[in-house]
Structure 1
Amino acid sequence: MMCVRILPRSLQIICMLLAILLITATGYASNGKIVGHIVDEKTGDPLPGVNVVVNNTSMGAATDAEGDYYILNVPPGSYEVTATMIGYKQITKTDVNVNINHTTQVDFSMSETVLEFGDAVTVVAERPLIEVDKTSSRVIVESAEIASRPVSQMTDLMMSIPGIDYNPSGELTVRMGTLDQVAFMIDGMRARNPLNSQPYFNINLMAIEELEIITGGFDAEYGEAQSGVFNIITRGGPEYYTGTVEFRWIPPGKPHWGTALYDYSTERYWENTHARHLQWWIDNPNMWVDPEGRYGTNPECAWTPEAAYQYYMDTHQPLTDYTERSGYQVEFALGGPTFTDKLRFFVSGRYRTEPPITGNAYRKMGEWIDGTYKLSYHFTGNKTLILSGYYNRDYTCHGMEYLDFVGEYGNKYAYYDYAGYPESRRNGQTLKFIHNIRRDTYYELHLSRVSSYESQTEFPSDTSDWTSADIQRDYLRATDEQGIAIPNAWDEIVGMHYVGYWYRKEDFDTDFTFSGKLVSQLNKKWQMRSGFGLTYYHMDRYQEARAWEAVEDKIYNPYEGNVWWSNKLEFEGLIMNLGLRYDFYNPNDKIYLNPFDPLDVLTAEAEGREPNPEIKPTYTFGQLSPRIGVSHPITDKSVLHFNYGHFFQRAPFGEYGEGGSTYSILTTYLISSEFGEEEPRSLGNRELKPRKTVAYELGIEQDLGPVLMDVTAYYKDRTNDIRTVSVVMYNEQIYKTSGNSDYADAKGVEFSLRRPLRGFWGGYLTYTWETGINGYSGDPYIIYPEGVTIQVSQDYNIGDYLSYMRPNLTANLTLATPSDFSYLGGLLSNVQFSIDYYVSYPHKQISSDVFQDVVNIVRPANKNANIRVRKDLNLFKGNSAAFFIELENAFNDKWHNVDIMEGDLKAEDRARYINSNLKIYPETMKNGAPFKDFYKYNNLPRKIIFGMAVNFNTKNGR
């Protein structure tokens, strides 16, 4: 792998190269290819001149002298392929499935007939389990499989893929790489936040025609990724009208373990038995104060016990009735032709609303709105124009969708709101032009726009504004016998503020991408592809951290691009994907040359002049990355694959937060200095080198008859990872920047068994084991100029340390009965049962998996089962309805939180916890306060969802 820096004027050369490629078109999402061999059924001789067409499309080919044919640029989906020749029976093969970047083999054996065109024969195409041309770790999930699974969110679907799991910190990872290292594509458009590369996962599952997940070995077509590629092709409009409407209802109930936040019938919370009773205020005047801070025992106290009690009750009303509210989701999809059959459409939408999981939220209900659309126009002359896009808007707030292990108990009656009131909008549009120049060559052009809006501001009904520094608290001063403050009783914070608003932002980030690709089948064995991409960013940033009085208010316009070349060579016993990719980026900003006074404030003040910082323009980083993938079919049932590649990815351009750390390139967080000028609080490193990964993979696939077995081992070596660096300035003040200081490797073994849903059953079983090393070298943690006398602590985080992932097992079993299943009078016909099962095994080297005491006890495995039972009813003319029940965490499994037992507990309670094998939790803490049973488990209890769906189409009514 070669990393170079190019002066900005060298971009002229790059632009000239791109101009040469302008006959090409869009990168990323490739269609598939159909190939085949046609012979005489009786003699086995190849048949030249056979016409092969993909029914209901304009795609087709004719066999050559050796009886071979190929059809390029076939969109993913299920097709009928027909072969015709004078003197032979016409043959149509149905259920021919075409996948992204995959060659589908469709062979024919034709028999002679005395008729001119012969009789017509229809057969169902057999789909082999083995993909002989697969040179990477790739899983294809088609729309039919998505519909059969007990999932409603993309993240649930991802968990079935080997190598994808949550790390010990709770982050979703792909082969131990975080999600910003993943390329998430929707119809060739990179759907992510342009600022920090976080992907958009909320796409409607109904909109997906096919999902391709590559966790290793992605070829030169894909960039800006180190850990994986998620490639989504959305559904297009069919030749007839089709639609689906689905409704899900979640009954009311307590969505978490333990005692409900506002359950006053128990003694779980201190105020239930104390502060919510007037007699306590009368009996304990030494434990409360008036608004001036005078205790109830003080003769000058402005409050009587009755007044203090009434104020407490008025300000401690429940925020929500979250246990009494139900949730629901409505999703629809509609597609078909328009006023002309050349123009077809497909749209989908989803509205979801649920109460907050923890109850202590500003919003009574969370709301999520998502939608997609696609318009395709087919011109004469093998040209197609496609417009597609997505939209998302969230109405949420802190603690809405997840357990908050920081703020619930101390803030049952106050919004945990120092982060402010959030708003989020995301959308993307892409325009794609496809031109089949001839049967062996086509190109695409692609123009896309991706936008993300994020804000955090004051709450709409808040009477105090951002500048208010008041901290609203109640007037309790409750202590135990030793004078120690009682948890969740002393000086509890109420009202609109936790500790005031500490952070706010308004961020509007957009990227514009023009890309292209040319695909040419040079001969039957060699397909060549080349492409390019150019992306220009407009990032309008405002964020403010009040604790430091730091502000970032700036517009950035970085740019990046790529050119790539890839070859697919297909021989009888060897398939190779060989490619080269060149990526480059430029922050398009300025480099501050003096790190110890980057804005020249200190030096200018000392010299009595205006600041004039030393700067120079940023330069362009570039890297050439080779990609090699090899597949070796040992037999028709065994395939060995190997891949090797270099992968390039810049750091995030920016990030959100108060500036306490930075891992970005362009952050410019400024504070006011003692001289009235601006100094950095955090300053992204414009010279930050790109992150690099070198990856290797070896795997074998074996057709075991009904199932496909895959065993893959991988190794990834990462360098130039990002760390936060502290810089001491001349005045001994410190700001944060970023540096290329870290490295890591990851290795793992993935095992899977898969069977597509055929006949009565289908499913999968996967097991993943991973481990790695993280290391620190390169740029130091802290740098300072000569002569500065500030005491700098010794940094001990140098060298390697092992990182661990929990081994995990995932499984699915889907059972389906046919429509003619007559048992019990047909009651069980068209019934589908599906279960997803997940097991995360504890690791004794992960501290949160082990309860450490006199003896160390490893917690039980985390388990989860999601189940769906669905009954379909056939209506008229191919229309249908369905009713289903889904269970999330169907068996009510509990994920033990051993960290909660590390607190101040009685010795006998700890002993009882150990002797019960981590099952019996205490009732009280050592100081007598109730034990926080809310925290006992890290997951959520069983959730029941009832649903119904209606499907319609006009295929049989036309």
Structure 2
Amino acid sequence: MVTDAESGKPIEGVAVVIQGTTLGANTNAAGRYFIISVPPGTYTVQARRLGFQSVNATDVRITIDVTREQNFKIKATNQTLAAITVQAEKTPLIERGQVGSGSTISEEQIQSLPVTSIAGVLALQQGFQEVPQNTSLISVAEEQRNTSQPIRVRGSRGGSTLSMIDGVPINNSIFGSNAIDINSFAVSGVDFRRGNMDPQYGNALSGIVNSSIREGGSQVAGSISFQNGTLPGELFNSTQDKLGGNNLLRGYLAGPVPGTNSKLRYSVSGQVESGAARVLEFDQDIFSVNQDVERSEVLPAYSRDLIKGWQAFGGRQNAQFVGKLTFLPFDNTKINFTAIGAERANRPYDRRFMFSYQPDPLSLVNNRADSLFVINDQGLVLQRDLTPTSIRDKSNMFIASVEQRWGRSSLTLRAAQLDFERVTCPIYRGVCLPAPFCQANFAQGFINPSPTLCSTVPDQGATGQLFGGEKFTDRTFRADFQSQVTDHNNLQFGAQLVQHDLVYSDRAAGPGQSGITPLTYQVYRAKPYDAAAYVQSVIEYDFISIRLGGRFDYGVARGSSFANPLDPANGTTAREVCNGATVAGKQLLNAQGQPYGTTGCFASAENPATKRPILLDSATSIAQGDDFTAARARTAFSPRIGVNFPLTERSQLFFNAGRYTKVPNYADVYRNTGTGTVAGLTADADRYCAATQVKPGTAECAPDIRATNPTYVGNVNLLLEEAKSYEVGYSTTLGEQNNYGLQVAVYNRSETGLTGIRASRALNDIGSTYDGSAPQYRVVVNGDFLTARGMEISLDRRLSNRYQYSVNYGIARSTSNSQAPDRADEIARTEANRVQLIETLTDGNITHTANASVTYRVQNDLPTLPFNAGRLLRNTTASFTYQIRSGNPYTPVRATSLANIGVTNAASDINSGTAPSVQDMGLQLDKRFAIKNVNYSAFFRVSNLLDRKNCAQVFVNTGKCDAGLRDFQNRRVGNTGDVTTSTGFDQPEFIGARRSLFTGITVSF
């Protein structure tokens, strides 16, 4: 609102403009103005009118999806006077009219904290968790297909959080993880919502992370930063940092294109990062050939580790470029074009870490193609499996948008394309090899791709277990319209269409007695689509704020699968057809119009092609007529409401409730369904099934329900997953200058219709329609559920008297009837004694979480110190963070050796144990100085300042990460093997995060 500074009356016709942009509006008769669709950032806003002195309000902070109020008081004058510059009211710690909990993170916060990624900042907020590399929490499939850490929000499953860039989704539509991790220098702000989610956001059950790409302004600005971990490792003699070899180079440049009168603007940013995948610490108790075995020792000496101290394994690299071009042809029109290119590679240190004591390197057990022979100080030949698996992905994204304004209304049109490709493969001498394969002789470097030979020649060992990945293109088309229809009502509506083009192919194998056994070959192709439309009315008064809306989702998976996923014959097998059953209008009758009966079908002549009775083949063909059905449309309507009740000028109550839906991961929709395949075993086919194993009337393979298939079958008719969420909260500002913000929220979320694995009904099919046996296969249906509830409290202090802080605490509990399908499938195949019959804690349940961050900043207002030492602190910033949380659940195993792992009741209840708590302290010191218009800074950063041994994963029989039973599934990340398989014990090594040091420099202007 704009009012007269003398009389307080509203002034009509005042032009309010955001400097450096073409955005602005004129006040109406009530003195009100509205400027909508403002990109996130910090601006100077000017109010001017003929006959009045202009006023500039500086440091007006705009965040995503939040209304900012900026009022002006201007003085009448008949002279031309310079504009008055005033400091805008500080951005409120508690947003007026908020209806749900969330966090808005600015560019400044990201750069000032001792973290290197956006996820690192979000991890300091309640509800956000980066899942550690823990194979009890994530499946082998998830471990081997991701180059970045999965995320969970408020105890949800992976993939339940929507990640967006400029309003366009960037999730991997096949697996649900992020296809792109945007670098922190590329963004102007990040909005993390875990409570109420407006209906414009869909395909999420637990939260959204929306990043806004930085736009170029009317002035040139930029920054470049480099940090390294090796140098401080040398200076402070930190072995783990010297081995880690971490390097990070990133920066941005933004401004107007010369000669365009600021009509054309650019912003470019990039990042290059590299380092070891993991640096692990082994204990000091190693094997020596001259060491006597004491009677008191339970284990023989040769069961100990063969190396000690710190070791580096694997590697990671990522490179990213982000460019955004902004064209302002008219004052009310803006055109943006964004391009993102990213490549990530990760060679993780995984479960295949083997040491063997052998006198001859050619006879080492389980030789691996990417291994290294090491001679230790006892003269032992060690075989170190460095990183046999490489995960590489590449993504490109293009976004074009047009924004048109008419007074208080705006229309934004977006078109985007996301291309993503991943390959996971074993590495031999730097070459990505197809799998499965084995090696015959490491010394000769001979690689034999024949699984049959591998399993029959004793001296050959498994080297690779997985090759392949996904490739997809997602095209998004979106239109959003909003209008401030009255001073108190903002109307929003829009629609979105996402088209997917998916291709998936991989080969997986598992270990055999002396080599590898090929297990699965997975391939499918599909072009599903998802569409949505939404409407929302935002009503804002001084005494109440209401956000009321709804979303309608519609999608089709495309493809076909079993009409009854639990019964491949859909109730009619060849037996029923022989006995006279009619299927899809067809019936098998003799010349007299009578059914043949089962005996008659078997008594017919033999079909030379199939070597089976002709009538039985005919009955089988008829029985298949109703077995398959095309994917049906999945629809849902999701109402959502958020209400805010101001109690005083400083405090407010809020409430929100909503129904949220999510498209099932397409990996579960299409797995083993044969969608998009070409039947046959010839070179021009997919070699996924025989030419006769097809869906009726097609050349597409039938679902793979053979008893030899160890994985589950997908279902193209999966419905949308659903969550009902409720949240109640209280927030207030405290202190004379409102420098403190307090917020408390209590939430409950119930998720139903989640994808889960179920066993089919046992079927006796005399026609052997899809397999030569009578299989009882496993299939995905909408049968799982999850419940999450908790309380969060936060206290924030804005920057004042040189320091600011944020403290938050959360208590939560999330339970489910099952793990996510990949992990549940893994448990069913490898840990058969773990049968979940009741609702238990989820793998991602974190009972207690507390975070704190403190920043102390000295600019030119120097502190008073003896001997005028305050000058040394000029332009200095110190940031400190502290995190503590409960450990993740795990399932204890009451066993003392490999021999009784499979004994009934050897495993306790699912997730009934809790790993040790995790604590981390971070520190960053930054010293800046300026030369003309360029700022230089040198910084020093420490992660895990106290060098605490934080467990990434525990041994299941002890609950510790440094002592216990050898992982009987050989899945524990970083587990050492030994030759004492009779006892199964392992001399421990530490698996987890330790202290790391970084030094760096930043140049900005």
Q: Which bracket does the TM-score occupy, shorter chain normalised?
A: 0.7 to 0.9
The equivalences for 1:425-824 within 5 A come to 425-436=394-405, 438-461=406-429, 466=435, 468-469=437-438, 499-546=462-509, 547-593=517-563, 595=565, 596-597=567-568, 607-608=616-617, 614-654=627-667, 679-680=704-705, 681=709, 682-705=712-735, 706-727=739-760, 728=762, 730=765, 731-775=773-817, 797-803=836-842, 804-821=845-862, 823-824=868-869
Alpha-carbon offset, residue 374 of structure 1: 0.5
2:378 aligned partner: none
- Among 866, 869, 879, the alignment partner of 2:925 is 869
Task: Kindly indicate whether the alpha-carbon contact (under 8 Å) linking 2:230 and 2:242 is maintained by their aligned counterparts in 1.
Answer: no
2:41 aligned partner: 77
> Please, what TM-score do these two structures have when normalized by structure 2?
0.72
CA distances 1:604-653 after superposition (whole Å, capped 9, x unpaired): 86623696664332111100000101111211210111101000112101
1:182 aligned partner: 161
Alpha-carbon offset, residue 527 of structure 1: 0.6
How far apart, in 2, do the equivalents of 1:909 and 1:617 lie? Answer: 51
2:454 aligned partner: none
Alpha-carbon offset, residue 851 of structure 1: 13
Q: Which amino acid is the alignment partner of residue 811 of structure 2?
A: W
**Does 2:878 align with 1:833?**
yes
CA distances 1:344-374 after superposition (whole Å, capped 9, x unpaired): 1111111111134258999974321122111
CA distances 1:389-443 after superposition (whole Å, capped 9, x unpaired): 32221232132xxxx466365787467599744321122111101111x111110
Identity of matched residues, %:
20
CA distances 1:475-514 after superposition (whole Å, capped 9, x unpaired): xxxxxxxxxxxxxxxxxxxx99862433221421111111
Task: Kindly indicate whether the alpha-carbon contact (under 8 Å) linking 1:653 and 1:667 is maintained by their aligned counterparts in 2.
Answer: no
Task: Kindly indicate whether the alpha-carbon contact (under 8 Å) linking 1:819 and 1:830 is maintained by their aligned counterparts in 2.
Answer: yes
How far apart, in 2, do the equivalents of 1:715 and 1:471 lie? Answer: 57
Aligned with 1:155: secondary structure? helix
1:357 aligned partner: 278
Task: Kindly indicate whether the alpha-carbon contact (under 8 Å) linking 1:193 and 1:451 is maintained by their aligned counterparts in 2.
Answer: no
2:359 aligned partner: none
Kindly tell me the number of residue pairs found equivalent between the two proteins.
793
- Among 72, 85, 94, the alignment partner of 1:108 is 72
CA distances 1:297-345 after superposition (whole Å, capped 9, x unpaired): xxxxxxxxxxxxxxxxxxxxxxxx9965633111121111114121111
Q: Which amino acid is the alignment partner of residue 816 of structure 1?
A: R
The equivalences for 1:918-929 within 5 A come to none
**Does 2:333 align with 1:383?**
yes
Q: Which amino acid is the alignment partner of residue 101 of structure 1?
A: D
Structure 1 residues 322, 830: CA separation in 2 closer, same or farther (over 3 Å shift)? closer
Task: Kindly indicate whether the alpha-carbon contact (under 8 Å) linking 1:372 and 1:390 is maintained by their aligned counterparts in 2.
Answer: yes
Q: Which amino acid is the alignment partner of residue 944 of structure 1?
A: L
How far apart, in 2, do the equivalents of 1:879 and 1:253 lie? Answer: 26
How far apart, in 2, do the equivalents of 1:858 and 1:187 lie? Answer: 39
CA distances 1:636-692 after superposition (whole Å, capped 9, x unpaired): 210111101000112101169997xx9x99999996579888644443111211111
1:162 aligned partner: 126
> Please, what TM-score do these two structures have when normalized by structure 1?
0.75
**Does 2:298 align with 1:373?**
no
Structure 1 residues 101, 590: CA separation in 2 closer, same or farther (over 3 Å shift)? same
Alpha-carbon offset, residue 77 of structure 1: 1.0
Q: Which amino acid is the alignment partner of residue 223 of structure 2?
A: T
CA distances 1:83-118 after superposition (whole Å, capped 9, x unpaired): 2234433221111111111111111222333x3455
Aligned with 2:120: secondary structure? helix
Alpha-carbon offset, residue 859 of structure 1: 7.2
Q: Which amino acid is the alignment partner of residue 920 of structure 2?
A: N
Task: Kindly indicate whether the alpha-carbon contact (under 8 Å) linking 2:950 and 2:994 is maintained by their aligned counterparts in 1.
Answer: no
Aligned with 1:588: secondary structure? coil
Alpha-carbon offset, residue 240 of structure 1: 2.0
The equivalences for 1:182-201 within 5 A come to 182-200=161-179
- Among 245, 249, 253, the alignment partner of 1:334 is 253
Alpha-carbon offset, residue 583 of structure 1: 0.5
Structure 1 residues 160, 898: CA separation in 2 closer, same or farther (over 3 Å shift)? closer
Structure 1 residues 575, 931: CA separation in 2 closer, same or farther (over 3 Å shift)? same
How far apart, in 2, do the equivalents of 1:59 and 1:858 lie? Answer: 54
Task: Kindly indicate whether the alpha-carbon contact (under 8 Å) linking 1:745 and 1:774 is maintained by their aligned counterparts in 2.
Answer: yes
Aligned with 1:180: secondary structure? coil
Alpha-carbon offset, residue 217 of structure 1: 0.6
Structure 1 residues 849, 218: CA separation in 2 closer, same or farther (over 3 Å shift)? farther
Alpha-carbon offset, residue 903 of structure 1: 6.7
How far apart, in 1, do the equivalents of 2:656 and 2:247 lie? Answer: 45
Q: Which amino acid is the alignment partner of residue 628 of structure 2?
A: I
Q: Which amino acid is the alignment partner of residue 148 of structure 1?
A: S
The equivalences for 1:142-161 within 5 A come to 142-161=106-125
Aligned with 1:146: secondary structure? helix
Alpha-carbon offset, residue 458 of structure 1: 4.6
Q: Which amino acid is the alignment partner of residue 423 of structure 2?
A: S
Gaps of 5+ in 2: 139-149, 281-309, 357-367, 373-382, 444-457, 510-516, 576-609, 679-685, 695-700, 766-772, 825-831, 897-905, 907-911, 966-977
- Among 387, 390, 393, the alignment partner of 1:424 is 393
Alpha-carbon offset, residue 884 of structure 1: 0.4
Task: Kindly indicate whether the alpha-carbon contact (under 8 Å) linking 1:544 and 1:658 is maintained by their aligned counterparts in 2.
Answer: no
Alpha-carbon offset, residue 721 of structure 1: 1.2
Alpha-carbon offset, residue 150 of structure 1: 0.8
**Does 2:265 align with 1:344?**
yes
Over the aligned positions, Cα root-mean-square deviation in angstroms equals 4.2
2:195 aligned partner: 216
CA distances 1:177-203 after superposition (whole Å, capped 9, x unpaired): 134011101112211212122114631
How far apart, in 2, do the equivalents of 1:174 and 1:119 lie? Answer: 51
Structure 1 residues 667, 181: CA separation in 2 closer, same or farther (over 3 Å shift)? farther
How far apart, in 2, do the equivalents of 1:197 and 1:420 lie? Answer: 22
Q: Which amino acid is the alignment partner of residue 783 of structure 2?
A: S
Task: Kindly indicate whether the alpha-carbon contact (under 8 Å) linking 2:851 and 2:881 is maintained by their aligned counterparts in 1.
Answer: yes
2:999 aligned partner: 946
Higher mean displacement: 666-675 or 342-351: 666-675
Aligned with 2:989: secondary structure? helix
How far apart, in 1, do the equivalents of 2:790 and 2:432 lie? Answer: 54
The equivalences for 1:94-105 within 5 A come to 94-105=58-69
Q: Which amino acid is the alignment partner of residue 557 of structure 2?
A: P
